[in-house]
Amino acid sequence: MNAILPTVPRRAPAALLALRLLVLALLPAALLAPRPAAAVQAVVVARGLDQPWALAFLPDGRMLVTERPGRIRPVAEDGTVGAPLRGVPPVDATGQCGLLDLVTDPAHATNRLLYWTYAEAGEGGNTVAVARGRLEGDALVDVQVIFRQQPRVASRLHCGSRLAFARDGRLHVGLGDRFGRRADAQDPANHLGKTVRIESDGRVPADNPFLGRAGARPELWSLGHRNIQGMAVHPVTGDLWHSEHGPQGGDEINLIERGRNYGWPLVTVGREYVLGTRIGEEGPRAGYEQPLKVWLPTSIAPSGMAFVTGNRYPGWQGSLLVGALRGQALHRLSIEGRRVTGEERLLVDLGARIRDVRQGPDGWIYLLTDGSGAQLLRLLP
């Protein structure tokens, strides 16, 4: 039997959250059991990856995998892992930071451009930077940094980060609050705990919502985020969705809209580590957007995510797949419009932290597990 869990679509009042927990406690164990392992199968494509973080697909059938210590490795169609690409700039790989997300340019077949996020060391700490380079054989050339998160912070935590090209060709970057600077997520004068929107060369689009606003960074698209770990564009509406780590509970799925405030740390159902005390109001609160999905009372640590658009997985078209690090599972969320209507936990018997989830051009779903000796997996129905 599939594990279908009740969904809290918004930051609900405390009484409603308590009711949800009571309902879960009273449900028969059979209804909460994970989906049988035989329902889907993860087959190994490549082994021996070192702290992989992101996956991208090339027109020639190869894949590229980022490794957090500072490498981008090609993976052949037969699973052979190649030597790291030359030309990657120095990476400050410490704690949760390092070489992180990677995407291809929408016109990669003709311009061969790649974009990636990484922690860049400098005076006063490190920053999350976005670099762009052209793939030539086994090297990146014409590499340039097109964006740097400001200010630099002496932190090993909450670097984020994810990239996504919207339908209009603009590049969205999801950034963390750097952990010790959570109040800055509400301050438009910096990039901490924000999403930003830039042109593919780093310029600021003329229609950005904070452009021209006194005391605000012109790159900002949204604010009030904690630690963005997944980002995907809805295949039908073009809306930008993302996953975000809460502290102790309060992980979120959000639909990111122009100029909106997503609450952290003023509005959140997440609790302080260890003590379990409240951080902010549980909401809803006027002027702050509500998440489409929250995980309570325990965090699953959502990571990479992808919408299913193909027909290789019967009944899954339109679903949102979200990897879980702490939860060690793949979560399939049923979507109706802007609502999350159901949840299914998959691959629980794998016992692996799932770092990234992507749908390949062949229609198959690919996963990256986390840590040393990690694997690239293909999901079969």
Got the DSSP string for 75-131? E-TT--B-PPPBTPPP----TT-SEEEEEE-TTHHHH-EEEEEEEEEETTEEEEEEE
Mean pLDDT of 320-330: 98
Q: Where are the alpha helices (DSSP H) in the chain?
A: 14-26, 29-32, 108-111
Mean pLDDT of 316-340: 97
Q: Is the pTM of this model over 0.85?
A: yes
Q: Report the distance separating Cα 298 and Cα 278, nearest Å.
A: 14
Residue 38 binned pLDDT confidence (cut-offs 50, 70, 90): very low
353 contacts 371 by C-beta, under 8 angstroms: yes
153 contacts 125 by C-beta, under 8 angstroms: yes
Q: Is the peptide bond before 59 cis (omega within 30 degrees of 0)?
A: no
Residue 266 binned pLDDT confidence (cut-offs 50, 70, 90): very high
CA 191 distance to own-chain centroid? 17
- Residue 158 is a catalytic residue: yes
* CATH architecture, range 14-380: 6 Propeller (2.120)
Closest CA to 168 of 58, 258, 55: 258
- Helix (H), strand (E) counts: the chain: 3, 23
Residue 39 binned pLDDT confidence (cut-offs 50, 70, 90): confident
Mean pLDDT of 354-377: 98
- Whether residue 33 has pLDDT greater than 60: no
pLDDT at 183: 96
Q: What are phi and psi of 23, to 5 degrees?
A: -60, -45
Closest CA to 320 of 341, 351, 295, 289: 341
Mean pLDDT of 255-268: 98
- Tally the C-alpha atoms within 13 A of residue 312's C-alpha that lie toward its C-beta: 18
Closest CA to 224 of 189, 182, 171, 255: 182
Mean pLDDT of 323-334: 98
pLDDT at 315: 95
Q: Name the average pLDDT for the chain.
A: 92
Given the residues 108, 158, 172, 242, the one annotated as active site: 158
Q: Name the amino acid, one letter, at 109.
A: A
Separation of first and last alpha carbons in the chain = 16
- Whether residue 36 has pLDDT greater than 80: no
Mean pLDDT of 250-279: 96
